[in-house]
Amino acid sequence: MIDAAELSHLMNLARLELGADEAEQMRGELSAILGYFEQLQAVNTDGVEEMQRPVALVNVMRDDVPAELMPHSALEHLAPAMQDGFVKVPRTVDAE
């Protein structure tokens, strides 16, 4: 499918320097790839709706359902320090 002149032109565009054996191998591989595209072009797609993606996008997130909260007493037991009903943590930002 690809003749030597086309392959030479492609090699020049891609700045490839291939030996004769490598060029012949490349020619065969490119011909095979183009053959696959010819098969795709031969498929009748009349009446087939165009797609942007092969799989429809769906929201896979679960519904936002509130869960039971941990009792405040359990939080007090787990926290290293509490102050006025809140967990006390070390200061991370200096006050100006």
Mean of all residue pLDDT scores within the chain: 89
Q: Are 22 and 16 in contact (CB under 8 A)?
A: no
Residue 29 has a pLDDT of 95
Provide the number of structural domains found in the chain. Answer: 1
pLDDT 10s digits, 27-53: 999 999 999 999 999 999 999 988 888
User: So what's the pLDDT on residue 37?
Assistant: 95
* Cα 51 to Cα 45: distance, rounded to the nearest angstrom: 12
Say if strands 82-83 and 86-87 run parallel, antiparallel, or are unpaired: antiparallel
Distance CA 48, CA 84 (A): 65
Assess if residue 31 is contained within a domain.
Answer: yes
The CATH number for 28's domain is: 1.10.20
Check whether 14 has a pLDDT greater than 90.
yes
Q: Range of 16's domain?
A: 4-42
11 is a domain residue: yes
pTM of the predicted model, to two decimals?
Answer: 0.49
